[in-house]
Amino acid sequence: MDGDLDAEDVKALRMAMQGLQGSGWQPPAQAAEFRPQFADLESWVNGFFVLTFARTADQRWCAAWWDHAEAMLRLEALWRTWEVAALDPVRGMAGWIREHLDPNLNVLFGANGPFAACTPEQHVRPQVLPVTPPPDGWWSSSQQHWWDVLGEADR
């Protein structure tokens, strides 16, 4: 494995992202009347995120953010929680900044974050983590697993 995403990897990522988008997620309480301010993630990133959070020269970002699975996951989470936070005009954004934005910005813009290999001029397609198939029988019921150990601790 060379670590590059191939067509099957891209297909699997797209299916996972579509699963998130089609998961039936609804904001709490006011779901029946809720209308997001932005129609989709791309609108939120282009219409809010990139206009608000441009920082210093050492900030990592990629113009092809949509081709970074981790960034997509984090930005999708930020957009959804932002939409819900906007429903509370007093404390919504303060809580969103503290609980969701700051931890994710540190990762997104960080030197070891999802855009670490990209530069403003060049997008580098992300790699996938290597995996090795487990030995035969690894997942069988005779194998001791962490959840077995936890069950024993309760007895």
| Binding positions for Zn ion, rule: CB under 5 A | 62, 64, 118, 123
Burial tier of 48 (Cβ tally within 10 Å: 0-12, 13-18, 19+): middle
Closer residue to Zn ion (CB): 73 or 86: 73
User: Which sign does the torsion angle of CA 67, 72, 75, 80 carry?
Assistant: positive
Give min distance, CB of 118 to Zn ion, in A.
3
The CB-based long-range contact list for 136-141 (8 Å cut-off, 24+ gap) reads none
Task: Point out the residue whose Cβ comes nearest to Zn ion.
Answer: 62
Quick check: 115 and 62 in contact, CB under 8 A? yes
Nearer to Zn ion, 62 or 85 (CB): 62
Of the pair 81, 113, the CB lying nearest Zn ion is at 113
Minimal distance in Å, beta carbon 123 to Zn ion? 4
Q: Smallest distance from the beta carbon of 62 to Zn ion, in angstroms?
A: 3
